[in-house]
């Protein structure tokens, strides 16, 4: 959806895929070289994280600065609160700007540890590398064969359940290249 409404990034990602893959099926070496596609994926996950929140329980009394966390306290963190914070990401925090990730996650914002598309610390998603590889392969194949734009039937409506999802799906108009 984000590439459909940002054709300049769709073009950049397609050019990168064509340059690296040269009409071949993406392999592990090609996947590693896709910097533009990686930036697009990270920015998409920032704007639309797959999970709405993360919860952590204190197993002992902890103190963070002036904040006391007693044993048993559950701390809930909404990803969107962090991912859309203008103090962290800048005044354009609500905009699709993959160039934020030109220097990786660590160079993306003032506090890179708040980019949490796959969770954090000991509870990080075990499948994050596999998921990133799958996304790069899928997007490479789509970009190699199609251009896409939002369908006039598309209705923007994000639903919060166990995951974030579009209530009415994402209707795209696909054109074979």
**Residues 103-141: tens digit of each pLDDT:** 988 888 888 778 877 776 667 788 889 999 999 999 999
Which CATH number covers residue 34? 1.10.630.10
**Cα 57 → chain centroid:** 26
Inform me whether the pLDDT recorded for 163 exceeds 70. Answer: yes
Query: Is residue 59 situated within a structural domain?
Result: no
pLDDT category, 13, cuts 50, 70, 90?
very high
Residue 125, annotated as binding a ligand? yes
Inform me whether the pLDDT recorded for 165 exceeds 90. Answer: no
Residues spanned by the domain of 92: 2-48+79-176
Q: Residue 121: what pLDDT?
A: 67
Q: Residue 115: what pLDDT?
A: 80
Query: Is residue 62 situated within a structural domain?
Result: no
Q: Who's near 55: CB < 8 A, 6+ residues apart?
A: 74, 75, 76, 77
Q: Residue 110: what pLDDT?
A: 80
Neighbours of 96 (CB within 10 A): 17
Query: Is residue 171 situated within a structural domain?
Result: yes
Q: What is the pLDDT of residues 38-88, one digit of tens each?
A: 999 999 999 988 877 778 888 999 888 898 889 999 888 888 888 899 999
Q: Residue 50: what pLDDT?
A: 80
Query: Is residue 74 situated within a structural domain?
Result: no
Inform me whether the pLDDT recorded for 143 exceeds 80. Answer: yes
Q: Which long-range contacts (CB under 8 A, 24 or more apart) does 146-154 make?
A: 146/174, 146/175, 146/176, 146/177, 147/10, 147/14, 147/174, 147/175, 147/177, 148/3, 148/4, 148/10, 148/172, 148/173, 148/174, 148/175, 149/4, 149/5, 149/7, 149/173, 150/1, 150/4, 150/5, 154/1
Q: Which tokens hold the place of 137?
A: 């392969």
Query: Is residue 68 situated within a structural domain?
Result: no
Query: Is residue 65 situated within a structural domain?
Result: no
Give dist(CA 119, CA 49) in Å, integer: 10
pLDDT category, 99, cuts 50, 70, 90?
very high
Q: What is the pTM of this model?
A: 0.88
Query: Number of folded domains in the chain?
Result: 1
Q: What is the mean pLDDT of the chain?
A: 89
Q: Residue 158: what pLDDT?
A: 79
Residues, the chain, total? 177
């Amino acid at each position: 959806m984000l590439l459909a409404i940002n054709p300049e990034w769709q073009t950049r990602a397609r050019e990168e895929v064509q340059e690296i893959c040269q009409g071949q099926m993406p392999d592990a070496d090609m996947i590693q070289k896709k910097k533009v596609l990686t930036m697009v994926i990270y920015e998409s996950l920032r704007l639309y994280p797959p999970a709405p929140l993360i919860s952590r329980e204190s197993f002992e009394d902890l103190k963070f600065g002036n904040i006391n966390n007693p044993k048993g306290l559950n701390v809930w963190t909404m990803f969107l609160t962090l991912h859309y914070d203008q103090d962290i990401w800048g005044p354009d925090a609500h905009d699709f700007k993959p160039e934020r990730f030109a220097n990786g996650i660590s160079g993306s914002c003032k506090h890179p540890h708040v980019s949490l598309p796959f969770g954090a610390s000991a509870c990080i998603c075990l499948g994050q590398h596999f998921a990133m590889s799958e996304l790069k392969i899928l997007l490479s194949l789509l970009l190699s064969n199609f251009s896409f734009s939002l369908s006039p039937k598309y209705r923007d409506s994000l639903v919060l359940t166990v995951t974030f999802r579009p209530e009415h799906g994402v209707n795209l108009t696909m054109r074979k290249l």
